[in-house]
Amino acid sequence: MTANRRVPDCHPLLPHCARGLCHPCYSRHDKAGTLGHFPRTTLSGDEFATRYTAMRAAGLSRSAMAAALDMDRHAVAQAYYRAVRRRDITPDEPRVKCGTDGGYHAHRRRGEPSCQPCKDARAAVMRQRYHRAAS
């Protein structure tokens, strides 16, 4: 079992399950139908998508978003990918700019045809390598 950074409110020595409860207490309240008395300690998918979109529009980085949401940066990335797969949010713009060799490789990784500026940049890099190797 992996260590979880959250500590349950009910029994601090037991592993955290959800809603601030340990596994035995969560199961007991789930069976009794009283989980509603314990608020969620994480964001729902829709709530994450709404907050992420607002912070992206404000120009925040993923690290800044993680700090604002009180989440690990990796957890923000995973929640982002889930929201994109659910089509709750549109994918972020790629970090690699077109017209560079990196842009050419980004097109290839995504399995899409390269744009002309990226093809030109790749050709320039290959010409430079050829001339360097020939001399």
4 in the same domain as 37? yes
> Is the confidence at residue 33, as pLDDT, over 80?
yes
25 in the same domain as 2? yes
Domain count, the chain: 3
Measured distance CA(103)–CA(85) in Å, rounded: 23
Measured distance CA(97)–CA(117) in Å, rounded: 10
Does 61 reside within a domain? yes
Query: SS3 string of 56-119?
Result: HHCCCCHHHHHHHHCCCHHHHHHHHHHHHHCCCCCCCCCCCCCCCHHHHHHHHHHCCCCCHHHH
> Is the confidence at residue 107, as pLDDT, over 90?
no
Bridge partners of residue 22, in order along the sequence: 16
The pLDDT of residue 51:
93
Model's pTM, two decimal places?
0.53
Q: Which run of H or of E encompasses 40? A: none
Does 90 reside within a domain? no
Measured distance CA(55)–CA(25) in Å, rounded: 35
Domain extent at residue 75: 45-85
Does 96 reside within a domain? no
Give the tens place of pLDDT for each residue, 37-52.
988 777 888 899 999 9
Does 95 reside within a domain? no
32 in the same domain as 63? no
Does 119 reside within a domain? yes
Measured distance CA(53)–CA(102) in Å, rounded: 27
50 in the same domain as 35? no
Does 20 reside within a domain? yes
Length of the chain: 135
53 in the same domain as 33? no
Average pLDDT taken over every residue of the chain: 87
70 in the same domain as 37? no
Does 115 reside within a domain? yes
49 in the same domain as 32? no
